[in-house]
Chains A and B, each alone.
Chain A
Amino acid sequence: MSQPVLRLARLCVDYPAGDGWLGALEDVSFEVGAGRALGVVGESGSGKSTTALAVLGLLAPEARIAGGDILFKGASLFALPDAERRALRGNRISIVFQDPFASLNPSIPVGRQIAEPLALHKGLSDGAAGEEVRRLLAEVGIANPQQVALAYPHQLSGGMKQRALIATALACSPDLLVLDEPTTALDVTIEAQILDLLEKLRRDRGLSMLYITHNLGVVARICDDVCVLYAGRVVETGSAESVLRQPRHPYTKGLLASLPRVAERKHRLAPIPGRFPDLSAPPSGCIFHPRCHFAVDRCKTEPQVLDKDVRCWRAEELADAAWQAPAEQVDDAPVRVPAADGTPPLVNVDALTKEFRLGGMFNSSRVQAVDGVTLRVAPGEVLGLVGESGCGKSTLGRMLIGLIEPSAGTIGIDGGSQKENRRNAQIIFQNPDSSLNPRKTVEAIVGRPLVLHGLASGGDLRKRVVELLEMVRLSPAYLARYPHQLSGGEKQRVGIARAIATSPKFIVCDEAVSALDVSVQAYVLNVLADLRDRLNVAYLFISHDLSVIAHIADRIAVMYRGAIVEEGPVDDVLGPPFHPYTEALLSAIPDVERGSGVQRIRLRGDAVESGRHVRGCRFQHRCPRKIGAICESETPPVIEPSPGHRIACHIPLGN
């Protein structure tokens, strides 16, 4: 076998923490073979970004290499003098970062930024570099390279920027491309395009890739091998196929069991309980034992080593054992009582419209963020609202709870007045770090709605707050804590406790689990499902992630550029007949099961922001199944293939 392009040999990296050191990477070893793609997967804090930075030699100055080595084509990177390491960077090894919106300098034209490595490492003249830039842009699938080279970053969409960044990384024909969550900030349809591009580049150029991601679906899609990191340790490595299909380490099993999937919808997910270990004082024995379903006494004392590609001494005996949900989540899961037929809807939204004015005092333009949306939500029902960023779904959600005044249309929640709606309708936000006031204790945060609406006071107040915390599975020990002492999932659960404090009948979950790691996300989804069943509360569940929506929702509404293009019961929306946009969304999800080789539907171009009203169908510019002039001139009719399933499209049924 030929020499690997990159080899990490027992790499240890420490960061200073208080008086001592915190082991960010412990004994990490893996190889990227020539022309192969290795996926490094892990949740936040697993050390995957530290790995990428260590390979590039871009670790923060306070970080310390505590041991091990990184070998690039057999030569140790640490043995190289600084100048030679610099010569490798951007030249033989290059990187694409996560956030295309922050990775380009906003005041330099894109073409010049791509040309920088060419001038630096290859000494190309301006003219020659310009030509090479245009060739690279064409290679990464940009239709008009001439124009894009001259454009400034703000003139490009997120997908275009990421393509430009990939072109920069490819400029010097590197041997190794490091990708640090390159598609995480992008919409799923754009992500699919970028993944297609990366696949093509690998084929055409024989590139080796180190692909850092938290998304197991992406790994299945693009990687040959996978290396699962937990708390800075490799817990399992192997071919992507075998690790994802037959995981051997309990953590990998847990991750896969936590993952909501469109193809195989389960009643309940099986999350990984507990929280991420404190790396400055790691638990004794196996680092994963406090959260492991299979842990026995021996796990608590004996540190685990990587043996036959898996860091668990029980791997073989547990080969066929499936990950189990934590007991507390199974035992008292409430049973859902479906609403009787003919119950009047709880939420009635009619022709709701929101128009924003953009621009300055003199030349303002109007933008239709939400355009005539009509929705019904029954008591205790979960309506999933899916769409890409900027489609108006958050604006819609915020109008429903009175945070944004609608421009036109009506909202009725249980026939209540606006004042009653403050109690009856609540919201759960996306970002656990921003949704809790850092200066208040958990008790103050959860108790405040009760005080405000006069629902509890005195000794009763604390009792009620404890009850609410119990409903989101937090112990009374949390009462006195401040938000910074909580993990992401715990913060999100406090946010949920606050939302249910006034016993609302309707809650808008605005990307409520999107910022969480997979295992934590599953836990929170289960909490939300339990609350729905126990309190008979209805959700408008807003998400860009169709798998999450498919898991929790009863009905799905698909939004595109301010309007609902398809709506119906989950099974109807997820199966044909489709609206072409829904079909593309479904096809774009990188699914762990499917892997590659399935015929994919790709949208043309990038998302167009919701905006001025267009004649005809709003999806016409990107529609892969556009049928002709009628799409450009007439608003599509709403067809109803089955009761309650509505599609706004010109394509006749049966096609």
Chain B
Amino acid sequence: MATRWPASFVVGASVFGAVVVAALLGPHIAPFPYDGIDIMARFLPPDATHWLGTDEFGRDVFSRLLYGGRLSLLMGIGATSVSLVVGVPLGLAAGYYGGKVDETIMRTIDLVISVPPILMGILILSMTPPNPWKTAIAVGIIYVPIMVRLTRGVTLELASEEFVLAARARGERAWYILGAEILPNAWPPIIVESALRVTFAIMLGAALSFLGLGVHPPASDWGLMIAESRPFIDSAPWVALAPGFVLCVTVIAVNLMGDGLREMLDPRLKRGRG
């Protein structure tokens, strides 16, 4: 059966793919080094040499954008994956088993939520020397509660559906019920949430970097670039606009992909009937 890919998925995936390729090739195609300081060339507006202008240290914004892509994508996708891998199984278990399992998981989650995200990040990261990988994992952990709550809510609803009862009645094991009956129906809200999380993770990663807990200057990262350029936004808007625009495009692409994926997974939205 030939599946027609939803347009939203095709567009989202192509744009996102281009961003990923650019980020991976970044160090090789960048015209300048990311930390090439040139005091004489501060705040140059975009021109033929510096396509996107220069920042307060005279560094080439376009090159920093290319270098920064890797770290930002690592932050967004890495953190979201961590929150998915940890959060979804916990949410499924809490929603399906209920009772003591639910209480234990949810009260632990409440504890995690009660600490403000930045503080949580500082807590996790300040114990060991900072590293972008660790930041991504820390941000992922910060988002675990959201994933758990979301998954648990959907699972609770689905667990009382009659097809789940029917599976229990014929003696299915819990892992089959969770994996084959409940999870496929729980994906849509999880996918939508994950696409959003990618954005927030990039921004939270930047906030942590700003506090010295992630990417260290002079290394670049889109979020960090936006944060650093804030004082000069009036005089040199291009320094903030360039990473802002790229971030925006990436986020829209990820959301389109999520939307398309949701459509592909739902037999009700498939074109052409069996």
Which A residues form the contact surface with B (CB < 8 A)?
398, 401-403, 419, 422-423, 425-427, 429-431, 434-439, 441, 445, 448-449, 452-453, 480-482, 484-485, 495, 498-499, 502
Contacts and interface: CB of A to CB of B under 8 A. Distances in A.
Contact of B166 (A402, A435, A441): A435
B263 to A, nearest CB: 13
Contacts of A502: 170
**3 shortest A-B CB distances, which residue pairs?**
A422-B171, A435-B162, A429-B162
Nearest to A510: B162
B166 A452 contact: no
Contact of A482 (B170, B265, B268): B268
Contacts of B171: 419, 422-423, 452-453
A438 B267 contact: yes
26 contacts: A401-B169, A402-B169, A403-B169, A422-B170, A423-B170, A426-B169, A426-B170, A427-B166, A429-B162, A429-B165, A429-B166, A434-B162, A434-B163, A435-B162, A435-B163, A435-B166, A439-B265, A439-B267, A441-B274, A445-B163, A452-B171, A452-B172, A481-B274, A485-B274, A498-B166, A499-B166
B273 interface: yes
Nearest to A481: B274
B28 interface: no
A314 B155 CA distance: 54
Nearest to A431: B162
Nearest to B165: A403
B38 interface: no
Interface string B149-178: 000000000000111011111111000000
Interface string B83-95: 0000000000000
Q: Which of B169, B171, B265 has the most CB of A within 10 A?
A: B169
B181 A449 contact: no
A482 B165 contact: no
Which of A398, A427, A430, A437 has the largest count of B CB atoms less than 10 A from its CB? A437
Contacts of A431: 162
Contacts of A429: 162, 165-166
B268 A438 contact: yes
Nearest to A502: B170
B98 to A, nearest CB: 13
B231 interface: no
A499 B165 CA distance: 12
B66 to A, nearest CB: 41
Contacts of B167: 448
Contacts of B273: 481, 485
Q: Give the secondary structure class of B's interface.
A: helix
B218 interface: no
Given A398-B165, A448-B167, A502-B170, 19 more contacts: A403-B165, A403-B169, A419-B171, A426-B169, A427-B165, A427-B166, A434-B161, A435-B163, A437-B184, A437-B185, A438-B267, A438-B268, A439-B266, A445-B163, A449-B170, A453-B170, A481-B273, A482-B274, A485-B274
Contacts of A449: 170
Contacts of B163: 434-437, 445
A607 to B, nearest CB: 23
Contact of B169 (A427, A437, A481): A427
Contact of B268 (A423, A452, A484): A484
Interface residues of B, number: 20
A431 to B, nearest CB: 6
Given A429-B165, A452-B172, A437 B267 contact: no
Contacts of A481: 273-274
A655 B107 CA distance: 61
A407 B167 CA distance: 23
Contacts of A437: 163, 181, 184-185
B186 to A, nearest CB: 10
A480 B274 CA distance: 6
A482 B267 contact: yes
Nearest to A477: B274
Contacts of B170: 422-423, 426, 448-449, 452-453, 502
A495 B166 contact: yes
Contacts of A427: 165-166, 169
B1 to A, nearest CB: 9
B268 A403 contact: no
A293 to B, nearest CB: 29
Nearest to A501: B170
A480 to B, nearest CB: 4
Nearest to A495: B166
A495 B168 CA distance: 14
A403 B168 contact: yes
B169 A422 contact: yes
Nearest to B268: A484
Contacts of B185: 437-439
Nearest to B176: A452
A638 to B, nearest CB: 32
Contacts of A441: 274
Contacts of A398: 165
A427 B163 CA distance: 11
Contacts of B184: 437, 439
A70 to B, nearest CB: 35
A575 to B, nearest CB: 36
A427 B171 CA distance: 12
Contacts of A448: 167, 170
B176 to A, nearest CB: 8
Contacts of A434: 161-163
Nearest to B172: A452
A452 B175 CA distance: 13
Contacts of B181: 437
B145 to A, nearest CB: 23
Interface string B243-265: 00000000000000000000001
A425 to B, nearest CB: 8
A436 B168 CA distance: 13
A186 to B, nearest CB: 23
B243 to A, nearest CB: 40
A397 to B, nearest CB: 11
B251 to A, nearest CB: 28
Contacts of A480: 274
